[in-house]
Amino acid sequence: MINTLNRTKLNLSQRLQPRKTIHQKLFLQNIFNEIYALTYRLYIQLQRRPASLISGIIQPLLWLILFGALFQNAPVDLLTSNIKYGKFLSPGIIVFTAFTGAINAGLPLMFDREFGFLNRLLVAPLQSRNSLLISAIIFITTTTIIQTLIIIIFSSLIFQSVTDLMNILNIIIIILLITLSIASISICLAFILPGHIEFLAFILIINLPTLFSSTALAPLTFMPYWLQIIASMNPLTYAIESIRKICFAEQIPIIQTVWLDLNYNESIYILLLINIISFILVKNFISYKFE
């Protein structure tokens, strides 16, 4: 009788104890709510200051129109291997749009640091501080994809460079890979650099050299050998050549670099590897800074 009573009490106490699955569900729900609230906060800032979104569309659009018009009468075989220069330029400007948007990913965090909002968020009862990073990446990824889609539409209307819906989906995947890697580095810089003046100066210094040291404006064979080496180490080159492979597969059979020739899948693997390395390095560095 006593044993039966003890078993009844034990079963009752086990039922009254909160289950592990309930804790896990609550934890995931809180994480989701944190990410949603922090991301929504960034969208409110964008709604109040839409100039950053608009300028991210106008700048690459001007590059596309002006450079396309500048070299429209150049001999076709001189640069582009039987591809009109406007079509050749379009993948480079598409990737440049994503790069420009992603490199600004750390700017909201930098302003939060300077105005003291980041300290308030860090002392808030967050389930995970990773919510700050995830919300920033989600925000910059969605805005960058919107900007890129607009450039793709204009490029298709002006130069008929991208017309297939499946090609557009493949291009968005490549853009996503570039955006994630560059955005993670930009967020890391927001914790390294002392203020937004230095951050903007870094963007100004790195923006155009990164573009010119890729195959956005000219093929690899048109460059001097030292610039070919730099372009072959530039992640934008692999993204640009992959998009050109999607759009002009019949004219561009293979992706060529200084060291080796790659096919489309191998270039995607390189972009994935760059993403993994950048995420690991940035995550470890930010965790060290938080501690």
DSSP character for 249?
A: T
For the entire predicted model, the pTM comes to: 0.81
Tens digits of residue pLDDT in 58-98: 888 888 888 777 777 665 555 556 677 777 888 888 898 88
Average pLDDT (264-277) is: 86
Judged against a pLDDT cut of 60, whether residue 48 lies above it is answered with yes
- Here the tokens at position 288 are 């060290």
Confidence category of residue 12, pLDDT binned at 50, 70, 90: very low
Judged against a pLDDT cut of 50, whether residue 5 lies above it is answered with no
pLDDT computed for residue 43 by the predictor: 87
CA dihedral 73, 75, 78, 82 (to 10 degrees): 100
Tens digits of residue pLDDT in 210-247: 888 888 888 888 888 888 888 888 888 889 888 888 87
pLDDT computed for residue 71 by the predictor: 73
- Non-local (6+) Cβ contacts of 139 within 8 A are 39, 42, 43, 46, 105, 108
Distance, CA of 193 to CA of 202 (rounded, Å): 9
Average pLDDT (171-196) is: 86
Confidence category of residue 24, pLDDT binned at 50, 70, 90: low
Tens digits of residue pLDDT in 247-259: 776 555 567 777 7
Distance, CA of 3 to CA of 22 (rounded, Å): 30
Confidence category of residue 10, pLDDT binned at 50, 70, 90: very low
Judged against a pLDDT cut of 70, whether residue 138 lies above it is answered with yes
Nearest-Å Rg of the Cα atoms of the chain is 24
Q: What would you measure as the largest C-alpha separation in the chain, in angstroms? A: 100
Confidence category of residue 268, pLDDT binned at 50, 70, 90: confident
Average pLDDT (26-53) is: 79
Question: Domain extents for the chain?
Answer: 23-290
Report the candidate in 145, 49, 39, 41 with the shortest Cα–Cα distance to residue 102.
145
